[in-house]
Structure 1
């Protein structure tokens, strides 16, 4: 027999799993953009979510940062300005920034950007509805 408290817990778990799957697909897409646009000599799946992109991480330089900021704007509709280069710290940092920016937008613009990200990552939006 299930209790009424188990149903909400299951719904919350399903929502968390869907959110984690969305996060994974979005980070995978960001890694693909990194490898493709910067012509990195490694597979995208070798890049970890929290790996440093500059310095001892992927050893990107300032020209890579410029190319990456243009690629991010083209791919995800999220402009990155020079004062925001800290978001290039890792794939996770960038994705967190992108999601934060969405929350600051008017609801219709945030919905448009989310739909574009879902389309670019190939995520089925109906699968995320919990």
Structure 2
């Protein structure tokens, strides 16, 4: 009988208990971070550099526009001055004709005295 009892010794295997994880609800998903903190820092740095460079470019472009406008105004002033200079030189030529000089001389009371006129050779 001892042999029979030994045969009947239960060979019961204890199963290890697995920790039960609560089942997730369908609407509730585990929140996974989209970007790591290092990536966020890189994005912020890139965005700030982009803003800085674009503002520098816009600033220099504005300065160039101001300079171009100033160059154009100076160019128009030069054209006006050159027109005025040519008009004045034309007036000088008109005023300095031989007939005009004689008219002014007669108005001032000067007379042509051929005895006082000397001819200079070589001219």
The structure with the larger Rg is 2
Higher relative contact order (Cα pairs below 8 Å, separated by 6+ residues): 1
TM-score by length of 2: 0.31
